[in-house]
Amino acid sequence: MLVSAREMTAAARAGHYAIGAFNLNNLEWTKSVLKAAQEMQAPVIVQCSEGAGKYMAGYKTVADMVNDVIASQGITVPVALHLDHGSYEGCLKCIDAGFSSIMFDGSHFPIDENIEKTKELVAKAHEHGMSIEAEVGGIGGEEDGVVSQGECADPDECKLIADLGVDFLACGIGNIHGKYPANWAGLRFDVLEAIKAKVGDMPLVLHGGSGIPTEMIQKAISLGVSKVNVNTECQIAFAEATRKYIEAGKDLEGKGFDPRKLLAPGAAAIVDCVKEKIEIFGSAGKA
């Protein structure tokens, strides 16, 4: 059964570790992420962007798939199914589709509009026992066609949004979706500290978790980050393993073209990637 991400992120906040939130792309991803979490005995958030939701034939399909994999694979660790960077309408759809958590990304709206819409969705999510994430400031780079310059969040605005009763808050601190450029200046710990000083114990979310050096991730966790989002690194791991299989000509040997064989190395690479992240985030054994 899916659970809200409220308790797991609050426990992570209190215990100074972070929950891994891994984006889903298909059935292989779903099986691999849940297998890794189960083997590590880690509570986990599986999330899907609006684009990935469309790709997977709609939110209801995603919710059914995640629920069915949990049941059929004997997954017993707490699992939350979360909408990543949702629009207002997307959030309403995921409430209906049986997700257990939503993110409303109103960061591109003027702050008053972000506040107003976030407030409405906090009420709706909590009515359904779901957790809700909101965002202040921009996460740089491109996620599913949404491009942002990545401006750091204003700590006072973070406080205004946190006070609406959101369960965890994403704030731009120099983090970027996708690959980090060679000249990336790193996370702005000064901004993170200023935000934490305003919002107190509110669990914070670090988007763009792929490619951030381990020490930086762990420092961010020590300063209040309780959920770390990872997408690109799993995609790269999957693509690299699949490329290796094909370049070695394995698809041409016997029945190596069978998708169950062709996709197996990539699926195994996702399991390894997720396990490594769970270890770094400190959530292993916290289920």
> Residue numbers of the site for ligand 13P (CB under 6 A)?
23, 84-85, 143, 177-178, 207-210, 229-233
Please report how close the Cβ of residue 143 comes to ligand 13P at its closest, in angstroms.
6
| 8-state DSSP, 99 | -
Q: Which residue has the tokens 């799993």?
A: 234
Whether 154 is a known active-site residue: answer: no
Report the alpha-carbon distance of residue 262 to residue 238 in Å, rounded: 11
Please report how close the Cβ of residue 144 comes to ligand 13P at its closest, in angstroms.
9
Toward ligand 13P, which CB reaches closer, 4 or 23?
Answer: 23
The answer to whether 198 touches 155, Cβ cutoff 8 Å, is yes
Please report how close the Cβ of residue 248 comes to ligand 13P at its closest, in angstroms.
27
Toward ligand 13P, which CB reaches closer, 100 or 231?
Answer: 231
| 8-state DSSP, 210 | T
Toward ligand 13P, which CB reaches closer, 50 or 157?
Answer: 50
Q: Which of 68, 84, 112, 154 is catalytic?
A: 84
- Helices in the chain by DSSP H: which ranges? 6-15, 27-40, 50-55, 59-72, 88-97, 111-127, 155-162, 189-199, 214-222, 232-247, 259-262, 264-281
> Going by DSSP bridges, is the β-strand pair 168-171/131-136 parallel, antiparallel, or unpaired?
parallel
Toward ligand 13P, which CB reaches closer, 78 or 208?
Answer: 208
Please report how close the Cβ of residue 250 comes to ligand 13P at its closest, in angstroms.
28
Report the alpha-carbon distance of residue 253 to residue 95 in Å, rounded: 46
Toward ligand 13P, which CB reaches closer, 37 or 245?
Answer: 37
Toward ligand 13P, which CB reaches closer, 63 or 103?
Answer: 103
Please report how close the Cβ of residue 260 comes to ligand 13P at its closest, in angstroms.
27
Read off φ and ψ for residue 7, nearest 5 degrees.
Answer: -70, -40
The answer to whether 198 touches 159, Cβ cutoff 8 Å, is yes
CA-CA-CA-CA dihedral for 134, 136, 142, 147, to nearest 10: 120
Please report how close the Cβ of residue 22 comes to ligand 13P at its closest, in angstroms.
9
* H or E element, residue 20: strand 19-23
Catalytic residues: 84
